[in-house]
Homo-oligomer: A and B are copies of this chain.
């Protein structure tokens, strides 16, 4: 089954809003075998909306619209589509009562001007919206199928999940397009390519894409137009093979954060974790504590941005700093040991570096970051020069800190 997307909103065309709905809808529909073949964004004008929907119907006979259903513009896009179907709008008292009740619960009275929100094209099915005020609509007639959803991302997603997908699944093809991601880190794309390339043929008919970011390279496998069970089976097998080939650098799937994987490893050992952060300035702690339940493993740590705090908080000797500089593996090691000992943790990681844009030297250019790790009786350290902006250097440093932590504790 093929469908077209029509996104309604002048603000979208003007770039005030980034369209995240399109990606969500494309991926979700592909997963049940419905292919989005064109996406059109038009402004809030009846003639433009009408033209876009009518053209799309001619091509595929199925259209999903988002936006243009809010109380101020409600009459417009709903009326346009109703006209296309030749269906008059009918006021629905039960829908009005429901809306009024919703407003009452928010402590407000539904304005009479919102009357149009309770108007439904005769012959259309209402998709109840429990997450907002504008309901969705399902119109199906000789003209084809038009599904109308609100543009607010949360409402659109809920309506997709609860109302649209179950109905489309029944009529979607028996072939789906699905993908799975294997996340890798601390390995250059070229090295990854050299390892994965020789086995890539085994993945046929799946396609493989390399998606680099500051956190590493995600490997995305995609099964195109296959039976759902076949797609899932091939993706699972290829994912396992990929993880085996990539080895220690493959750490998770989907959108899993490495911090969650580190915490799971620590949990299974019953170990506590502390951090000592200089150039990352709290970023590592923030990522770890973003994970619910992190307090079971994470005790906290020191943001020792100023050198005096490296001494006061984690006991780095001033003479060590004077001798090697604050950005040195010696100081990083001392920070990690100090954090583990003082904060009562079996595991600690320390990061000290030059995130830039200032502060670099020939010896220690911007991007130089030194790490110290402690895990039980293990001690490790590293010095790396990262490319990129201040934010990229900090993000890469936090990721490497977590990656080695994982290898030392899993």
Contact = CB atoms under 8 A, between A and B. Distances in A.
Contacts of A194: none
B22 A20 contact: no
Nearest to A179: B16
A373 interface: no
A263 to B, nearest CB: 12
A311 to B, nearest CB: 11
Contacts of A286: 280-283, 285-286, 394
Contacts of A280: 286, 289
Max chain B CB contacts within 10 Å: which of A20, A28, A301?
A: A301
A222 B14 CA distance: 11
A23 B27 contact: no
Given A15-B24, A299-B306, A306-B299, A285 B289 contact: no
A346 to B, nearest CB: 14
Interface in A237-296: 275, 277-290, 292-295
Q: Is the interface of A mostly helix, strand, loop or mixed?
A: mixed
A284 B286 CA distance: 8
Given A14-B177, A289-B280, A289-B281, A303 B303 contact: yes
A284 B305 CA distance: 13
A275 to B, nearest CB: 7
A189 B350 CA distance: 42
Interface in A1-39: 11-20, 22-28, 30, 35-39
A203 to B, nearest CB: 17
A343 interface: yes
A57 to B, nearest CB: 15
Given A13-B37, A19-B19, A313-B313, 13 more contacts: A13-B26, A14-B177, A16-B27, A19-B22, A22-B41, A282-B287, A285-B305, A290-B390, A298-B306, A299-B309, A300-B305, A301-B302, A302-B302
B285 A277 contact: yes
Max chain B CB contacts within 10 Å: which of A13, A18, A288, A306?
A: A13
A157 interface: no
16 contacts: A13-B26, A13-B35, A14-B30, A15-B28, A38-B40, A277-B285, A281-B286, A289-B394, A290-B390, A290-B394, A293-B358, A294-B305, A299-B305, A300-B304, A302-B302, A302-B303
Contacts of A183: none
A37 B343 CA distance: 59
Contacts of A300: 278, 281, 302-306, 309, 313
B19 A15 contact: no
A281 to B, nearest CB: 3
A65 B303 CA distance: 47
Given A19-B22, A43-B37, A302-B300, A289 B282 contact: yes
Contact of A358 (B177, B292, B302, B305): B292
A88 interface: no
* 9 tightest A-B CB contacts, nearest first: A282-B285, A281-B289, A15-B26, A282-B282, A15-B27, A300-B305, A15-B23, A299-B306, A39-B41
Contact of A38 (B48, B299, B343): B48
A188 interface: no
